[in-house]
């Protein structure tokens, strides 16, 4: 192979490798799910959300922290994640 052809092949290979290692930015929906996951993980009890299951295997329902006024307020649903929270997440994680 001549030198310019080798260079072209090398640059093409490097471009393909770089494209494969670059992660696509998360969508708003993916970020909302991540925020919910982090919120639930940071809750200390066994019933953060109505759809959670307690230690005995029962659905938490109205016993959940989400359903009770005052105290902890875990984020359980996408509708609870504001666009500002999504934007703040992007800034915090540099996405």
Render 52-95 in DSSP notation, one character per residue.
-B-TTS-B-GGGSTTTSSSS-----SGGGS-HHHHHHHHHHHT-
Has residue 17 been placed in a domain? no
Has residue 4 been placed in a domain? no
Q: 23-44, pLDDT tens digit by residue?
A: 788 999 999 999 999 999 999 9
Has residue 16 been placed in a domain? no
What percent of the chain is predicted at pLDDT more than 70?
77
Has residue 3 been placed in a domain? no
Token reading at 20 = 């494969």
Give 87 or 15, the one with higher predicted confidence: 87
pLDDT at 6 over 90: no
Q: 15-25, pLDDT tens digit by residue?
A: 665 555 667 88
Has residue 15 been placed in a domain? no
Has residue 43 been placed in a domain? yes
Q: 59-72, pLDDT tens digit by residue?
A: 999 999 999 998 88
Has residue 12 been placed in a domain? no
Domain containing 46 equals 25-93
DSSP state of 78: G
Has residue 82 been placed in a domain? yes
Total tally of structural domains belonging to the chain: 1
């Amino acid at each position: 192979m001549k030198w310019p052809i080798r260079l072209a092949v090398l640059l093409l290979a490097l471009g393909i490798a770089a494209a494969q290692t670059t992660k696509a930015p998360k969508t708003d929906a993916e970020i909302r799910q991540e925020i919910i996951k982090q919120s639930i993980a940071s809750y200390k009890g066994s019933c953060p959300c109505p759809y959670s299951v307690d230690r005995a295997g029962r659905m938490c329902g109205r016993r959940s922290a989400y359903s009770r006024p005052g105290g902890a307020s875990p984020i359980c649903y996408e509708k609870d994640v504001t666009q500002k929270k999504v934007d703040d997440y992007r800034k915090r994680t540099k996405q």
